[in-house]
Chains A and B, each alone.
Chain A
Amino acid sequence: MAGKELNNISPSEKIGRRVFDSKDEKAARHAERPWVRRKLFKPKSGNKVSTDRLDHASYERMIEIVKKTDLSRGDRFKGWVFLVVGEASKDGRNVIYSPTHENPYHVDIELPDPVTDNKEDEIDHAQALADIAKWYYPSNNADTLTLDEESDTRGGSD
């Protein structure tokens, strides 16, 4: 799976934020009180949050990609928390398809520019994304959220 179909990002598509901390994993997978910590969605630098598109390759293939692209942390990889593109791209955020040679499924969630100068806005966006994320179980592919709009979101690297 590659090529043309990757250029269009559907609003119902799942994108995942990698999790390396066992505390984050434990919190997100809690049986009774799952909780995704907002620190997972704070940009490391700039105003972009890296994610992986999860609907286009097998789970095993995605893990291989993680291990290649996160060399220093690959062994500690726990899984993903995922969110839906349509929800991630609200409130002035953009979801931009930005493939790399090692990761053809890479996507950035781009926060509005002024956010980087404003701590409260950055926290607000991180919390908003955490609120719509949950742990990704690859067997639960039917667990997609329905959206009100079915318009295509054309993405591409800038």
Chain B
Amino acid sequence: MQTETYSTCESQERRLSGGHESIPLFLLGYSFALHERLPVVFFWPGTNISRYPQPNDAILKEHTLGAVLPLRVSGSSQEPLRAAQRDLENVMAVAHEEGFINPSEIALKNARKLLVDMYNISPRYYQVYPTEDGDISIDAPGGYNRSFVALCYRDGRVLCLVNINGDRKKRLYENIESLPDSFATNALERLHQASDDEWLARN
């Protein structure tokens, strides 16, 4: 699974120059520190020191008017995936409650596979729900005028819709065999990137 972590602020780097010229300066500083009873921290040449700790936890970012937060997850946290999978396993009950046509087994099977694949490409929250036609929708809202949708039809076909800032494309697949293909992968990655660019511009 691809995971990425981001720090919420720029990391500061301090790099010691290697080489002989730094040794006398080091000894001078060390002597002074000992004399003044100052704490001494040793660095090896070439060490990068981050002022801020590297984040291990999920980082939330706010974007656009709609304040959509594509949740970046790291490590073993897969709560967004689990939440979406719970919703997926509940689609039959929801369809029944809403009076929709029941999603088919093939739609459910396709949605289960696609959800995991999509999450592996873009770890984030997904909205999973049945439609009145008996299809299962996996939606990735991405902020204002941005989204990716994978709609698992009742008959086994899959419709993918992508919208990146009004640039909209769609593709209908006869089955799930070729998914996720470059169209879907690129779309999910662009969705993330578009959100990141905007966040970076604002910050």
Contacts and interface: CB of A to CB of B under 8 A. Distances in A.
A124 B160 CA distance: 10
B141 A132 contact: no
B125 A33 contact: yes
Interface in A103-145: 119-120, 123-124, 127-128, 130-132, 134, 143, 145
A35 B127 contact: yes
Contacts, number: 55
A119 B146 CA distance: 21
Given A91-B168, A124-B168, A34 B163 contact: no
A34 B68 CA distance: 6
A134 B168 CA distance: 19
Nearest to A34: B66
A79 to B, nearest CB: 16
B145 interface: yes
Interface in B106-147: 125, 127, 131-133, 139, 141, 144-147
A39 B132 CA distance: 9
Contacts of A39: 131-132
Contacts of B139: 35
A131 B146 contact: yes
A131 B191 CA distance: 13
Given A120-B159, A124-B170, A143-B65, A32 B127 contact: no
Nearest to B125: A33
Interface in A17-40: 27, 31-35, 37-39
A39 B133 CA distance: 11
B60 A32 contact: yes
A127 B68 contact: no
Contact of B161 (A27, A37, A91, A127): A127
B93 interface: no
A131 B147 contact: yes
B67 A90 contact: no
Given A123-B151, A132-B145, A33 B68 contact: yes
Q: Which of A27, A33, A38, A143 has the most CB of B within 10 A?
A: A33
Given A91-B168, A124-B161, A124-B170, A131 B145 contact: yes
A124 B163 CA distance: 10
A53 to B, nearest CB: 20
Given A120-B159, A128-B163, A131-B144, 7 more contacts: A35-B141, A39-B132, A123-B159, A127-B161, A130-B147, A132-B145, A134-B65
21 contacts: A32-B60, A33-B68, A33-B69, A34-B66, A34-B68, A35-B127, A35-B139, A35-B141, A37-B127, A38-B149, A39-B131, A87-B145, A124-B168, A127-B163, A128-B168, A131-B141, A131-B145, A131-B146, A132-B144, A132-B145, A134-B65
